[in-house]
Amino acid sequence: MNNTMDAAATPARSIVLATHNAHKVAEFHAIIAAEHPELSVIGYDGPEPVEDGVTFAENALIKARAAAAHTGLPALADDSGICVDVLGGSPGVFSAYWAGQKKDDKANLALLLDQLHDVGDEHRAATFVSTIALVVPGVDGESAIEHVVEGRWPGRLARAASGDGGFGYDPIFVPDGQVPGHETSVAEWEPARKNAASHRARAFAVLMPLLTGL
């Protein structure tokens, strides 16, 4: 699949994902095609907009609007991160850059653990949040149709990283609902288990019906 296809070369049933990341395009295509085989997810080849929103929804809409305007196709964009209760919901939209503009996963994780080093287990609640925006361009002068869906995955933060899988904050995120005494971080889960339970999976469950008829 070519993630740099332009709108003129794409089939009528294509939907553009506002990212230049080919792996994310492939991931979204696989998830969506399983329920909507008539849709083909392609990558965005236009300029990246400035993500200056202060919420996940604002940033997702900024990206989806830009992709829809550039291609004329229905567009998807996602924004996600981790929200820690005791930090007032931070890192939130700054999750990827918590330790600075280098976007360093290890540094972000280390800084968050350091900030919570003296916080008791009962106050380490956190939630992974995934927000997906869908923008469908208007026709014949009509306004675009916009939807924003959200998936939330509650849990808590461990005191030390564990597991070699996943990425970002996965090694310190322990989802709720596990058997006491046998709790593990997301980085210790098999990918299929994570993908079925994650915040993104929960957002997709809400999104899927909105893709009918695109």
- Interval 148-179: pLDDT, tens: 999 999 999 999 999 998 889 999 999 999 99
Give the closest residue to 155 by CA, choosing from 130, 124, 182: 124
pLDDT of amino acid 151: 97
Residue (of 24, 109, 92) closest to 53 by Cα position? 92
Lowest mean pLDDT among 4-8, 56-60, 78-82: 4-8
Give the per-residue pLDDT at 8: 43
Average pLDDT over every residue of 115-144: 94
For residue 22, the model assigns a pLDDT of 87
The pLDDT score that the predictor gives to residue 141 is: 76
158 contacts 185 by C-beta, under 8 angstroms: yes
- What local confidence, expressed as pLDDT, does residue 124 receive? 98
Tokens of 34: 């399983």
> Is 73 inside a domain boundary?
yes
In the prediction, which pLDDT does 103 show? 86
Residue 3 has pLDDT above 60, yes or no: no
User: Rounded distance, CA 119 to CA 103, Å?
Assistant: 25
Range of the domain at 189: 7-211
Pair of tokens at residue 68: 């829809």
> Could you tell me the CATH number of the domain that includes residue 23?
3.90.950.10
Active site residue 78: no
Domain-located, residue 174 = yes
Does the residue 2 lie in any domain? Answer: no
Radius of gyration from C-alpha coordinates of the chain: 18
pLDDT of residue 2: 45
Q: Which of 2-6, 40-44, 201-205 has the lowest mean pLDDT?
A: 2-6
pLDDT, averaged across the chain: 91
Longest dimension (CA), the chain: 60
- Return the residue matching tokens 């794409």: 10
Please give the tally of structural domains in the chain.
1
Lowest mean per-residue pLDDT among 22-36, 67-81, 150-164, 171-185:
22-36
Report DSSP state, residue 209.
G
Residue the block writes with tokens 């939130």: 92
The answer to the question of residue 78 being in a domain is yes
Q: What pLDDT is attached to residue 10?
A: 44
Q: Is residue 11 part of a domain?
A: yes
Q: Taking Cα atoms as reference points, which of 152, 93, 148, 108 lies closest to residue 128?
A: 152
Residue 9 has pLDDT above 50, yes or no: no
- Domain membership of residue 1 (yes or no) is no
Output the pLDDT for position 4.
41
Residue 110 lies in a domain: yes
Catalytic residue among 45, 52, 78, 79: 79
Evaluate whether residue 167 is within a structural domain: yes
Sequence-separated (6 or more) residues with CB below 8 Å from residue 213:
none
Say what the pTM is: 0.87
Question: Residue 97 — very low, low, confident or very high, per pLDDT cuts 50/70/90?
Answer: very high
Q: Is the pLDDT of residue 12 over 90?
A: no
